[in-house]
Amino acid sequence: MAHYKAEQDDWLIVYLKYLLFVFNFFFWVGGAAVMAVGVWTLVEKSGYLSILASSTFAASAYILIFAGALVMVTGFLGFGAIIREDRGCLSTYFCLLLVIFLVELVAGVLAHMYYQRLSDELKQHLTRTLAENYRQPGAAHITASVDRLQQDFKCCGSNSSADWQHSAYILSREAEGRRVPDSCCKTVVVRCGQRAHPSNIYKVEGGCITKLEQFLADHLLLMGAVGIGVACLQGNLRPSVHQMSFNPLSVLEKTLIMGRRKRGSPIRKPTDHSDQGPAYPFFGQLLPFLCVNGACHAYTCAMGSWLREPGSNKWAETALL
């Protein structure tokens, strides 16, 4: 009987370790994905940072990169805790999970807050930037950002090409008779901006504001969904004090106890909590897991519906549908 019990314990220890290895692998991959989203966002929109009045957008991306890197480090720590069966590693692992939860939540909230005031900021700041800073001394980074914006999105001016009539550059002798910058042209050649005809320059309804707003909104939606969604899921996976179920941290704790018991180390007998929970604890955690996923999916769908109407004020109505 004792031999059978020992074999059963050996099998369970191996099973629990493999289960936690699988969790840590997906946890590590999730961290890499979060970091990739932050890096991709910075690379994709880095050319437009100079024409944004607020640094909140960039801050959200940097926080996601930090959180992703921390998740990857924590995943490696989890592997070490499994192999070494070290309670100290387990405690550090748990603390880092809490830090990651908070960091990702902050990044998601920042992205969502900036999303809400994105349109107003662009309308107030972009027009003034084009008029006062384009091709001005000490504003080379702004000039490069505006030129890239107009070429990438095939637009001209903040609202229309007529906005350039009030630009300090166009009104100066340096413009050499240009009516719009050369970056407004469909085919960029020297002094092509002297001819502001629809066949020569981009005429887009809503101008560059609409295009840039849609671009940034898409990225902010992604950052907000990733940050808040992953934080919610990790919050749902925090260790339970009274039951093991399929919670990876509790699995590791159980593995440590059983491994040390097998080696003969004194272990305090765990308290019986069979009267404090259902007979099938896995389903007890499956339901909130599905609820969190459903909430994140609803959040993404609602934001996506709002995106299809740039500048609309129907957020409250859309979110309730």
Q: What pLDDT score does 33 carry?
A: 78
CA distances in angstroms from 211 to 152, 202, 225, 276, listed in the order given: 10, 13, 21, 56
**pLDDT above 90 (res 309):** no
Q: What is the pLDDT of residue 230?
A: 58
CB atoms within 10 A of CB 241: 7
Q: How confident is the model at residue 238 (pLDDT cuts 50, 70, 90)?
A: very low
**The predicted structure's pLDDT at residue 172:** 92
- How much is the pLDDT for 271? 42
Q: What is the pLDDT of residue 141?
A: 85
**Per-residue model confidence as pLDDT tens digits over 239-271:** 433 333 344 444 444 444 445 444 444 434 444
User: What is the rounded average pLDDT of the residues 209-236?
Assistant: 67
Is pLDDT of 306 > 60? no
pLDDT in the model for residue 179 = 92
Determine the 3-state secondary structure of 52 from DSSP.
Answer: coil
Cβ neighbours around 14 below 10 Å, total = 11
How open is the CA angle 28-37-63, to the nearest 5 degrees? 85
CA distances (Å), 123 to each of 129, 140, 157, in order?
A: 10, 22, 12
Highest mean predicted confidence (pLDDT) among 88-102, 216-230, 291-305: 88-102
pLDDT band at residue 50, thresholds of 50, 70 and 90?
Answer: low
Residues whose CB falls within 8 Å of the CB of residue 32, separated by 6 or more in sequence, listed in order: 68, 71, 72
Report the pLDDT value the prediction gives residue 280, as an integer from 0 to 100.
33
Phi, psi of 201 (to 5 degrees): -120, 165
Cβ proximity of 125 and 53 under 8 Å:
yes
Percent of the chain residues past pLDDT 70, beyond the cut? 56
Instruction: Tell me if 82 sits within 8 A of 21, measured CB to CB.
Output: yes
The answer to whether residues 111 and 231 touch, using CB atoms and an 8 Å cutoff, is no
What number is the average pLDDT over the span 83-111?
Answer: 74
What's residue 31's pLDDT? 79
Confirm if 163 and 146 have CB atoms less than 8 A apart. Answer: no
Closest of 247, 229, 239 to residue 293, by C-alpha: 229
Highest mean pLDDT among 9-13, 158-162, 281-285: 158-162
The mean pLDDT value of the chain amounts to 68
Question: Which pLDDT tens digit goes with each residue over 118-139?
Answer: 667 777 788 888 889 999 998 8
Identify the CA nearest to 145 among candidates 265, 51, 285.
Answer: 51
DSSP calls for 156-174: -SSSSGGGGGG-TTTTSGG
Rg (Cα) of the chain, in Å, rounded?
28
Give the least confident one: 62-66, 160-164, 291-295: 291-295
* 181 three-state secondary structure: coil
pLDDT at 89: 74
User: Higher pLDDT residue, 156 or 27?
Assistant: 156
User: Where does the pLDDT of residue 231 fall: very low under 50, low under 70, confident under 90, or very high at 90 and above?
Assistant: low
Q: In terms of pTM, does the model score above 0.75?
A: no
- pLDDT class of 8 with cuts at 50, 70, 90: low
Over residues 131-160, mean pLDDT? 89
pLDDT at 94 over 90: no
CA nearest neighbour of 162 among 121, 128, 200, 203: 203
* pLDDT above 70 (res 273): no
> What would the mean pLDDT of 266-287 be, rounded to a whole number?
38
Residues found in the chain:
321
DSSP 235-284: HHTSPPSS--TT-HHHHHHHHHHHHHHHHT---PPPPP-TTSS-S-HHHH
The mean pLDDT of 262-289, rounded to a whole number, is: 40
